[in-house]
Structure 1
């Protein structure tokens, strides 16, 4: 069954309002963003999840989204807001991913790949390519590129997340990328037993098509479940239902 991550939450009240839904992860943005939170704000939301855990109820895992943070920044935030997952959205090295594993045992590390015009890239200065004409089967060139790009991260991350490249923030643009690019990543992740998440412009109305066509291990949404920049409970509910009910009917 595909996992669901709702990203960009900012208030404990919104966290409480969605706990009845089968959401697997909630994300807090520490990277530069209009949805950016402080460690104090994240700690209050994590307390809500801790209350659920203490009561023996299921709850989402917490994900902190970072872009090129320093080790001291991560340490300070983790002391106040103990996250379950650290998601790297910048040009973080495999060594930094390993440092997180060593420093915070049990914490997952996710590495984001920003897709530029359909072409795989871990940075904004990689080559761009027109995705038109790509088939459902990745080419040898695409597979080789993904392998060279991600192999250094193979043993130091728990998941890869694809997002649309944004020149200002790196991701979180609310725009889709050419989904044909997914197939090469999917092949690589499957071969090395890593989970693959997809973000970028997902909505209640298009997530079903993504799942039907590519069936990633998880989906990540933020602006697609907002109204006028504010998280919308109805849209969140419809998004989660589209993912979870589709999985049930397909199974």
Structure 2
């Protein structure tokens, strides 16, 4: 089964189209002002309306209010919501969209408990823990903490780049991989060559399995 790919932290239409042209299955738009990859609603709307068919547009939120999520959905045609904070299952599932829950991993129990708590999610994203930041840290974590029993599709994030993504796929066997900083030339600005290298590595290891 092919591993899906998401390029997160897209801030420009150029980067969104470049990611799609090189075979990304999804792009991520960050609606969290504290992030250097945060995108404004005007740009987000243009990006979401311009990407080709079958490229999933994911909106990332961190501990938002219900009103804020609804205000974004009113202007930006998102396919999937990604909640990267401390949101409850009830909060995540109230918007009538498919959604992903992210968990910052310190132990295997973090992942097991999240699988149990967020059973209605379309996937569980596992990322490195940072006490001050919700994702986008560029840090990895011990993949051995990821259990083999997975009630939901598992999305691997955290410190991935073209140098380690093939090893990550071989070891973890995720449903999808999610990259942001590993394909950037600066925060919020993607590097086309790095995106190409990353996606090529994902597709290469897929073909050899």
TM range (shorter): over 0.9
Give the whole-Å Cα distance in 1 for the aligned partners of 2:140 and 2:121.
24
Q: Deviations over 1:190-228 (max 9, x none)?
A: xx3x21001000010000111111111110000000123
Q: Secondary structure at the match of 2:21?
A: coil
Change (3 A) 1:44 1:210: same
Unaligned runs of 5+ in 1: 54-58, 121-141
Under a length normalisation based on structure 1, what TM-score does the superposition of the two structures give? Answer: 0.78
- The farther-off stretch of 218-227 and 161-170 is 161-170
Q: Secondary structure at the match of 1:19?
A: helix
Q: Find 1:227's aligned residue among 185, 200, 209.
A: 185
Q: Which residue of 2 aligns with 1:215?
A: 173
Change (3 A) 1:75 1:228: closer
Q: Deviations over 1:162-188 (max 9, x none)?
A: 011222222110010111111x2x41x
Question: How many residues are paired up?
Answer: 206
Q: Secondary structure at the match of 1:245?
A: helix
Task: Please report the RMSD computed on the Cα atoms of aligned residues, expressed in angstroms.
Answer: 1.5
If asked which structure has higher relative contact order (CA below 8 Å, sep 6+), I would say 2
Alignment of 1:171-250 (within 5 A): 171-182=135-146, 184=147, 186-187=148-149, 189=150, 192=151, 194-229=152-187, 230-250=189-209
* TM-aligned CA deviation for residue 149 of structure 1: 4.0
Q: Deviations over 1:43-96 (max 9, x none)?
A: 0101212xx33xxxxx41001110111111011000100201100001110111
Unaligned runs of 5+ in 2: none
Alignment of 1:82-231 (within 5 A): 82-100=77-95, 104=96, 107-116=97-106, 119-120=107-108, 142=109, 146-154=111-119, 156-182=120-146, 184=147, 186-187=148-149, 189=150, 192=151, 194-229=152-187, 230-231=189-190
Q: Which residue of 2 aligns with 1:78?
A: 73
Q: Which residue of 1 aligns with 2:45?
A: 43
